[in-house]
Amino acid sequence: MLTSFPSLIIKVIRLLPYVLIFNGMLFLLIGFYTIWSASSFISRAMKVELLVVQVESKQSDDGQLYRPIFSATTPGGEVLRYSGNMWVSPKPHNQGDVVAGLVDWSSGEMKSVVMADWSKRFGTLFASLGGILFVVGGIFIWRMRRKVP
């Protein structure tokens, strides 16, 4: 059955609030997971000074991304290196910098305090955006259903 363009637009507009709610829930989950992950790392990690051994870079669609590689010395004198999987822009540190950081000795995970705080802020931003999308979609659905006799 062939649909006219105006009726297609109306169907898309009626579907839009459900898309907002779905995306809102998805953003909320991703945001809460990011906040939980960063908070649990911060709570189990020890504060140490980290040496930025190297800063890797790669090109993305939006410009240059950077990932610092950290090293720290364990209480036993062993030197550990960690690159992680967080690519950020702008460059958070330069090679050779000694920065305040956090280390989870059991997993070997390392983050500078700046990057750990950035993770929590990113999660908060994502969860907030998800909450807004969810509420806006819910309001649209509530108003659509209220108008129907």
> What are the mean pLDDT values of the chain's consecutive 10-residue runs (149 residues total)?
77 91 98 95 94 93 91 89 87 92 91 91 96 96 80
What tokens does 44 get?
């189990």
Q: What is the bridge-based pairing of β-strands 109-112 and 98-104?
A: antiparallel
Domain count, the chain: 1
The reply to whether 113 falls in a domain is: yes
The reply to whether 81 falls in a domain is: yes
Cα–Cα distance measured from residue 139 to residue 135, given in angstroms and rounded to the nearest whole number: 6
The reply to whether 88 falls in a domain is: yes
Contact status, residue 72 vs residue 50, Cβ threshold 8 Å: yes
The reply to whether 116 falls in a domain is: yes
Residue 9 confidence (pLDDT): 86
pTM (two decimals)? 0.79
Residue 148 confidence (pLDDT): 61
The reply to whether 27 falls in a domain is: no
Residue 134 confidence (pLDDT): 97
What is the extent of the structural domain holding 123? 40-143
The reply to whether 24 falls in a domain is: no
Residue 2 confidence (pLDDT): 65
The reply to whether 79 falls in a domain is: yes
